[in-house]
C-alpha cells in the first residue's frame, strides 16, 4: 500500500546541512515534484491508521505539513489550521519555540478554541523538536489531542505522547533506508 512512498524514499537524494544528512523528498520538501498519486497514497494511509472520530480540527506545522494536511482535510471534511513561522498577534495566538536538527525559531498557533478535539499531522519527525512545540502550543490553547500521525519517522524521538508513523527510516552516507512500515 505504501509502495510509492517507500520506493521514492529509497531513491531520493541527500545533502549535508552542517553535520546533518538531510534527505530531499517530495513529501518533506515539495521537490523535485509532488505526484498526486503519492500524495493520495500518503493521505489514504493516514485516514486508515488515524483515529479521526469526533475530531474538530487538523493541525500541522508550516511548511511541509501543509500539502499533506490539505489533502487530509479535503478527504475528511475536517478543517485545517497551520502553525506558522509568522506572528499575527490575533487574540488567543499561542507562541512556542521550535528547534530541529538544523534550525530553530518560533511557531504560532491560531484558530484553536479551548476543548477542541484535534488531530496533529506532519511530514517527518527527527529530533521531535517541532512536534514537542506543536503539542505544547495545543496544550497551552486547551485543546484535546485525539491523535498524532507523522508520515516519516527518522530516529527515536520522544514527544511525551504516543504517535503513529507510516514509515520509519534510517539515513546514512549511502542514503535513506526504510526499516519499518505501519502495514
Ligand X SMILES: O=P(O)(O)OC[C@H]1O[C@H](OP(=O)(O)OP(=O)(O)O)[C@H](O)[C@@H]1O
Ligand Y SMILES: Nc1nc2[nH]cnc2c(=O)[nH]1
Interface residues with ligand X (CB under 6 A)? 61-64, 100-101, 103, 122-130, 157
Stretch that binds ligand Y, among 23-31, 79-87, 88-96, 104-112 (CB under 6 A): 23-31
- Joined together, the cell numbers standing for residue 12 give 531520493
Instruction: Decide: residue 118, CB within 10 A, 0-12 exposed, 13-18 middle, 19+ buried.
Output: buried
Among 128, 136, 118, 47, which residue's Cα sits nearest to residue 81?
118
Tell me the C-alpha distance between 39 and 26, whole Å.
9
- Joined together, the cell numbers standing for residue 118 give 484535534
Closest approach, Cβ 25 to ligand Y, in A, equals 6
Name the residue nearer to ligand Y (CB basis): 81 or 100: 100
Tell me the C-alpha distance between 53 and 110, whole Å.
22
Q: Choosing among ligand Y, ligand X, none, which partner's interface includes residue 128 (Cβ < 5 to 8 Å by kind)? A: ligand X
Name the residue nearer to ligand X (CB basis): 87 or 114: 87
Closest approach, Cβ 10 to ligand Y, in A, equals 14
CA count, 13 A, side-chain hemisphere, 105:
11
Closest approach, Cβ 96 to ligand Y, in A, equals 17
Q: Choosing among ligand Y, ligand X, none, which partner's interface includes residue 26 (Cβ < 5 to 8 Å by kind)? A: none
DSSP-derived secondary structure letter, 35:
-
Q: Choosing among ligand X, ligand Y, none, which partner's interface includes residue 163 (Cβ < 5 to 8 Å by kind)? A: none
* H or E element, residue 4: helix 3-10
Work out whether 164 is an interface residue with ligand Y (CB under 6 A): no
**Would you tell me which residues interact with ligand Y (CB under 6 A)?**
22-25, 28-29, 100-101, 124, 126, 154
Amino acid at each position: 500500500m505504501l509502495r510509492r512512498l517507500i520506493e521514492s524514499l529509497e531513491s531520493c537524494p541527500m545533502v549535508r546541512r552542517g553535520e546533518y544528512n538531510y534527505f530531499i523528498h517530495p513529501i518533506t520538501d515539495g521537490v523535485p515534484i509532488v505526484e498526486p498519486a503519492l500524495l493520495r497514497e500518503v493521505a489514504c494511509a493516514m485516514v486508515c491508521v488515524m483515529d479521526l472520530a469526533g475530531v474538530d480540527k487538523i493541525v500541522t506545522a508550516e511548511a511541509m505539513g501543509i500539502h499533506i494536511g490539505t489533502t487530509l482535510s479535503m478527504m475528511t471534511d475536517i478543517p485545517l489550521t497551520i502553525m506558522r513561522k509568522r506572528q499575527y498577534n490575533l487574540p488567543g495566538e499561542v507562541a512556542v519555540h521550535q528547534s530541529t536538527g538544523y534550525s530553530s525559531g518560533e511557531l504560532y498557533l491560531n484558530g484553536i478554541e479551548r476543548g477542541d478535539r484535534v488531530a496533529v499531522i506532519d511530514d517527518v519527525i527527527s529530533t521531535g523538536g517541532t512536534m514537542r512545540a506543536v503539542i505544547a502550543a495545543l496544550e497551552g490553547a486547551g485543546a484535546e489531542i485525539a491523535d498524532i500521525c507523522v508520515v516519516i519517522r527518522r530516529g527515536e524521538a520522544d514527544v511525551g505522547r504516543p504517535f503513529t508513523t507510516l514509515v520509519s527510516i534510517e539515513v546514512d552516507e549511502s542514503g535513506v533506508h526504510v526499516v519499518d512500515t505501519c502495514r
